[in-house]
Structure 1
Amino acid sequence: MGFFSKKKQSSSVAKDRLKLVLIHDRANCNTELLEMMKQEIIDVISRYMEIDEKGLEINLGTTSSEYENGIVPALYANIPIRNMRAPAKRT
């Protein structure tokens, strides 16, 4: 049983990687662009709250769309929040 579970896990990982590559290709979003967006998201959110950057996950996935007649790329973010920041005073 252990032999088959390892093979299934390996094939599952490969399938997930292939899906990710296809999603990135369809969204026309390379790794460098995704990292740039991730850093900008961190910069903006950090103005309003203290976040746990080590736990931050930003990924491309898919979602359904009535406008595109099917599946379209979607940006998903999991951003652990440590504390809210006090609002900055405007001058």
Structure 2
Amino acid sequence: MNILKIFSNKIFSKDIASDRLKLILIHDRADISPDFLEMIKSDILQVISKYAEIETGEIEVRLTTTDEYEGNSPALIANIPIKKIKR
């Protein structure tokens, strides 16, 4: 373990590359294309925007894995900042 890494806020390129590779593997295992993920994101935003005003510049939707069920199951993670709820 690198002791300097603990106290540093610097993000190393090998960590970024590792995260990207993990995302690629997850997409391949789930057999979901980036276009399909964009369609899901668009549909989710359309539904949520009926009920709330959304901060569109900070939306993050990604595919990851979870060990909640048997094996590594794909999981959709959405971070959608809400400005206010529509009444």
Runs of 4+, deviation exceeding 2 Å: none
Higher Cα radius of gyration: 1
Aligned residues: 79
Unaligned runs of 5+ in 2: none
2 CA distance for matches of 1:61 and 1:41?
Answer: 17
Cα RMSD over matched residues?
1.6
Partner of 1:31 in structure 2? 34
Deviation, structure 1 residue 65: 3.2
Q: What is the percent sequence identity of the aligned residues? A: 48
Per-residue CA deviation, residues 26-74 of structure 1 (Å, 9 max, x unaligned), is 11111100111111111000000001111111000111133xx221110
* TM-score when normalising by structure 2: 0.83
Partner of 1:52 in structure 2? 55
Unaligned runs of 5+ in 1: 87-91
* TM-score when normalising by structure 1: 0.80
